[in-house]
Structure 1
Amino acid sequence: MSKALDTTEKTATYSTGGDEPNEAVVGYMQAQIGPDSTDDELLAYIIDPAEEKALLRRLDSFIAPMVAILYLISFLDRSNVGNAATGGMFDDINAPSNGLSLATSLFYCTYVTFEPMWTTLLKSVRPSILLPAVTVVWGGVVLGNGFITNFPSLIALRLVLGFLESALTPCLFLILTFFYCRNELGTRTSYMFVSAATAGVVGGLIAAGLLKMDGLQGLAGWSWLYIVEGAITIAIGATSYFFIADSPETAWYLSPRQKLLTRVRKVQSKQYNGDESFSWVEVRKAFSEPLIWVSGAMQLGFDVTLYGASTFFVVIVRGFGYSTIDSQLLTAPIYAWAAIVYLTCAHFADKKDVRFWLILPTCLVTCVGYIILIAAKESTGAKLFACFLVATGVYTSVGLNVSWNSANIAGARKRSTGIGLQQLIGNCGGIVAGQIYRSQDKPYYRLGHAVSLASMVWGISWMLVYLYIVKSRNAKKMAMTEEEKEEQDRNGVTGDRHWSFTYVF
């Protein structure tokens, strides 16, 4: 294919996924490109919108299921301790009265500690090897939970599980940035957090069935819960090896033409991606970036509510007076509602390029839900309705803030470090969440609801600070003179601080 740029209007021939080439009339100035084209030629190339849509459909058909399923089983495996608790596990292993709180919090101690390590390691180790291997091993840990006989064994396995699962979230975030442009990340990140909410639906239904196996083969129902879910995780981890690509260039499911288009998109968004080689300078930029710390503070508040809800909803609902099985079943529609709300908001986040005006109203609805849970005493209907209100914003706030943080960091190494730092700060909320829903506070759990409400207000407050910073930076860039822009170029300013980079809000 000729490397010379031909700017006449023409018919572009391309393959949309490995089938016979298709022809589409391109109604704008088009150019020819090939594997040997220079970056300048790729930068000038205009991708046919229909061809780009076909590329995104191809990516979504392989990446979306992998991201969604891996994140679903991670949330299922960390949160099933709440389901097991309602099935009598803590009585069977002679756990202390605060056993559930300890098991929840200690999981996040190792989860938070090792998360940045995995993010950095992913830039040097093949994702197609790292993530499947970690998933298979943590599936074995979950399966082993089914055979514990004492509380120390549970704590040991929860610590190991936290260490292994900490690899997943930041690595999946980073993998998404390898394949998608920043205005496409909101919807793709939504696959993860919709899966987290779906895990609540699936977990409740699975638990309702497996807990009925109590006594089968001499094992308790909660033992079967861990054994079955652990076996499923092992199978999924082994299968994921065939779906995780190390980069667009090595993705077996993309045609040569589609790989070329991913290179075009990469070159054209280079200001966002930057140099992908390791650089301590870029790492230091992440640690000195105020936006990342503010985003982390937001995430801390939002994560307290998310981890509190995802782990303790079934315990809270059982406190309304329902049986073990009924409480499992009643949480399913609550999580389903959360998934629907988040998927809708994530779609609009990408389509309208907005974050703040989606996070704020859903968070305020969540606050109203916590206020009702604190105030209500005897009205079971009001408390169940309040749970739906709480679910409205817990996943939306966390998920959209993650994509917001990623979209406003330019440079692959700075972004990978920034994602890890934000997640490290935010996931400390899991440690807090494990301590606020105490067994001595049942059935009303007002302390847990009050702290969750305060945490949501904390997150909203820091979001206002974040909004002020990005709007101020954009205004300063727009006010820059040509001389100031040229001076930035001469001084080698790159990444999100460059005058051409616009922050999204």
Structure 2
Amino acid sequence: MGEDHAPLDPEDLASYDIDPAESRALLRTLDWHIAPVCMVLYLVAFLDRSNIGNAAVGGMVKDLNFPSNGLSVATSIFYVTYVVFETPATMLLRTLRPSRMVPTFMIIWGGVVIGNGFATNYATVVACRLLLGICEAGLFPSLVLYMTSFYQREELGLRTCYLFIAACLSGVVGGLIATGFLKMDGLRGLAGWRWLYIIEGALTIVVGIGSFFAIADRYETASYLSERQKFLMRVRHAKAAVYSRDEGFSWNEFRRYTRDPMIYLSGFVLLCMDTCMYGFSTFLVVIINGLGYSPIVSQALSAPVYGWAAIVYLFGALASDRYSVRYKIILPLSLVTIVGYAILLANPANLGARLFACFLAGMGIYICVGLQVTWLGQNMAGYRKRSFAIGIQLTMGNIGGVIAGQIYRTNHKPAYKLGHAASLGFWAVAILATTLQFYVWRRRNVHREALTAEEKAEKDERGVTGDHHHAFRYVL
């Protein structure tokens, strides 16, 4: 019958040996059709949520008579609805289908962004931020979960990191296009910051329409995979199913994996890190503007900071993926970020030193957040547990967005000592919690290595599956 029509029995599939050359070719095909799409979608999303900082420097705060702490509130309010709707949206991804849910919400939030460009008062901006939070809530966790349906756990590190590289690149793109749009000030009677929202919103709608045709719901329906490659995907899934069976929803299983403390520890780490990341991504241009640079120069100077963060991220992600390590990448780069925040908090008189500190802070922020998200996803087995874990982790993490908006306050410029001090503290706590996470997972691996054949058999008899299976090893 040929290899394309190999027996359907899962045990036969799990024992099938895939030729390494075929495996590499399959990965290249997946990377060409999945990674670029996910990166573009997340770049656009991050651009739309973070452009409030660019617009503020461009005159929106003054034109719409924001209250004294209005920018902080408008920034935070986005994450209120984002957090509330994030987990439900993630859990519904399979039911609503990625090819329908993601494009639909993108088109809606693109319209909201355009609406923000025609805002006539502060209340309208707040309303748009609330709606934007609802529409964007499910995107990132859905993209992470979507990739776990195509890639094996050992392949996910670099692919998930692509999303955060896209977040870095959104800062580069945002800074550069904001520089151009601010020069359109007065065109057709509209301020430059209004053009920023209108054009970026239109771009989001175009990308949303295009994504209808670019997203395949499952590998079985992916037109870019040949029949042979679909067979190889079945083999890969059968091999992973040895410790990650998914036999349908059950309340007993649900209660069991909700009691895993590592999900909540990882969520706490991400909360601390996200407080820094969202504060950095939203207020970087405001911080640079506070150094004394003009609005247009501030927008332009933010681009190389994000560009450097993206370069560090790419090489760090490649090393993390090649050597299958997370903690050994996170720890040293976290210490660099600590130094950056410490310099910003010291507020030296030299502007060059403060700008250099922004480069240092950005070096660790994005890659550490990305690796933390990837780390949990790789260490959770089973689609439902993974979807729950990612949803909870990201929901907890995005509470950091609410906090970030409150620690960087307009009336604290240009030093922003509260924001820098709080970010420094949150990042230090994140390092300690990450270290605890590393040692817990390492201890579990050591314990499983020491199991006897009788103990393994006893666990098999009890039906222990998922990441608690004796064959499962946590990525460290």
The TM-score, its normalising length taken from structure 1, stands at 0.93
Provide, for residues 183-242 of structure 1, a one-character-per-residue CA deviation record: whole Å limited to 9, x for no partner: 110110111000000000000001000111111111111110000000000000000011
Partner of 1:465: 436
User: What corresponds to 2:190 in structure 1?
Assistant: 219
Does residue 246 (structure 1) correspond to residue 217 (structure 2)? The answer is yes
Residue 484 (structure 1) aligned with residue 455 (structure 2): yes
Supply the distance in 1 between the matched residues of 2:242 and 2:313 (Cα, whole angstroms). 29
Alignment pair present for 1:436 and 2:407: yes
* Pairwise CA distance, 1:384: 0.8
Alpha-carbon distance between aligned partners in 1 of 2:243 and 2:315, rounded to the nearest angstrom:
26
Q: What one-letter code is carried by the residue in structure 2 that aligns with 1:427?
A: N
Q: Give 1:466 deviation, angstroms.
A: 0.5
Q: What are the equivalent positions in structure 2 for 1:18-417 lying under 5 Å apart?
A: 32=3, 34=5, 36-271=7-242, 273-275=244-246, 277-417=248-388
**Equivalent position amino acid for 1:171 in 2:** S
Larger radius of gyration: 1
Give 1:483 shift: 1.3
Q: Distance in 2 between matches of 1:439 and 1:185?
A: 39
Deviates further, 283-292 or 438-447: 283-292
Structure 1 residues 276 and 230, CA, compared in 2 at 3 Å: closer, same or farther?
Answer: farther
The superposition leaves residues 235-258 of structure 1 with CA deviations (integer Å, 9 ceiling, x where unpaired) of 000000111111111111111111
Q: Render the CA deviation track for 1:428-447: whole Å, top value 9, x for unaligned.
A: 00001001111111111111
Give, in whole Å, the separation in 1 of the partners of 2:337 and 2:318: 20
| Mapped contact 1:205–1:328 kept (Cα < 8 A) | yes
Post-superposition shift, 1:352? 0.5
Cα distance change of structure 1 residues 292 and 504 upon mapping to structure 2, 3 Å threshold? same
Partner amino acid for 2:112? V
Root-mean-square deviation over aligned CA pairs? 1.1
Q: Secondary structure at the match of 1:109?
A: helix
- Cα distance in structure 2, aligned partners of 1:317 and 1:494: 51
Structure with bigger helix share is 2
Partner of 2:421: 450
Corresponding residue for 1:418? 389
Contact 1:286 1:415 in 2 (8 A): no
Q: What residue number does 1:22 align with?
A: none
8 Å CA contact 1:406–1:415 kept in 2: the answer is yes
User: Which sits farther off after the overlay, 250-259 or 263-272?
Assistant: 263-272
Residue 264 of structure 1 aligns with an amino acid whose one-letter code is V
TM-score, with normalisation over the residues of structure 2?
Answer: 0.98
Contact 1:33 1:42 in 2 (8 A): no
Equivalent residue letter for 1:270: A
1:271–1:410 CA contact under 8 A, matched in 2: no
Distance 1:367 1:91 in 2: 34
Please state how far the C-alpha of 1:494 moved relative to its aligned partner: 0.7
Per-residue deviation, 1:92 = 1.0
Q: Which runs of 4+ in 1 moved over 4 A?
A: none
Q: Structure 2, unaligned stretches of length 5 or more?
A: none
For the 8 Å contact 1:109–1:162, the answer to whether it is kept is: yes
Q: CA deviation at 1:283?
A: 2.9
Cα contact 1:279–1:413 (8 A) shared by 2: no
Displacement of 1:36 in angstroms is 4.2
When the two structures are aligned, how many residues end up with a matched partner? 476
Indicate the larger mover: 265-274 or 385-394. Answer: 265-274
SS in 1 for 2:213: coil
